[in-house]
Copies of this chain bind each other. A is one copy, B any other.
Amino acid sequence: MQRYFTNEKLSLFEPFFISGDDFHHMSRVMRMKSGEKVYIVDKEENAFIAEVIEIGESAVKLSAQENIEKSPELPVQITIASGLPKGDKLDLIVQKATELGAFSFVPFAAERSISKWETKKVRKKIERLEKIAKEAAEQSHRTHIPTISFCESFTVLMNRLAEFDYVLLAYEESARLNETKTLVSTFEKMKPGEKLLVIFGPEGGVGDKEVKLLTQANVLFAGLGSRILRTETAPLYFLAAASYHFELEKSF
């Protein structure tokens, strides 16, 4: 079944309209007819099965038929802070981590980032990633579309730590030293709705100054298993581990 988002709040059996690009997609691309059913996620992230009532000139009229109860969202909010990696790796991170349940993304200019974002290009780069996140959210049947915000320096990122209940650094050295307890014990402590920020370095890892600042801020350093993961693979590991912990083992 096709899946669409609306900025309205929906109520069961009350008609609503979809226009713009999604109207085009429904009427021209999918050639939908009255009676067909689609998934709709409303602005409060509730998911419904809705029936097409009528295809109009510039909008589709629908009616929400059924509220889909089970949330496709992780019970905790995980924000992925990635030191700007090379090439188009951030595209892969945002696409795959959105499928795996990331709540939001904070790319940041890291000490060892080779890739740079020129100030005048930031808006365009964020819009590109937002589009990737939206498409991946639709594809994976999520109700929340992850947001993207850029930190132009590590200091700006440090100033945001207080927004989160937990902050972890995914640290390559911790994996080397066989650190296995931090991730499990952090997940064990977390309650539904709590917010976690996890920081990943770029290709060269986190820099010495960054490690020092994070240590001073009492951020915990977590190992992610026994292998060295690439900068674009580590966030995917982290989110899959969170899903395994919160959705399969505990399922609260």
A140 to B176, CA, bound (A): 11
A115 at the interface (CB under 8 A from B): no
A222 nearest CB across to chain B (Å): 9
A74 to B237, CA, bound (A): 14
Binary CB contact string for chain A from 43 to 76 against chain B (1 if under 8 A, 0 otherwise): 0010100000000000000000000111111100
How many residues of chain A get a CB closer than 8 Å to chain B's CBs?
46
18 contacts between A and B (CB under 8 A): A72-B226, A72-B228, A74-B226, A99-B227, A99-B228, A99-B230, A100-B227, A141-B227, A180-B251, A184-B248, A223-B248, A225-B240, A225-B247, A225-B248, A236-B236, A240-B240, A241-B241, A241-B243
A142 to B228, CA, bound (A): 8
A103 nearest CB across to chain B (Å): 13
A22 to B96, CA, bound (A): 34
Contact status A237-B141, CB under 8 Å: no
Contact status A228-B180, CB under 8 Å: no
List chain B residues, Cβ under 8 A from A96.
233, 236
List chain B residues, Cβ under 8 A from A236.
96, 233, 236-237, 240
Contact status B243-A224, CB under 8 Å: yes
A99 to B233, CA, bound (A): 8
A101 to B241, CA, bound (A): 14
A245 at the interface (CB under 8 A from B): yes
A41 at the interface (CB under 8 A from B): yes
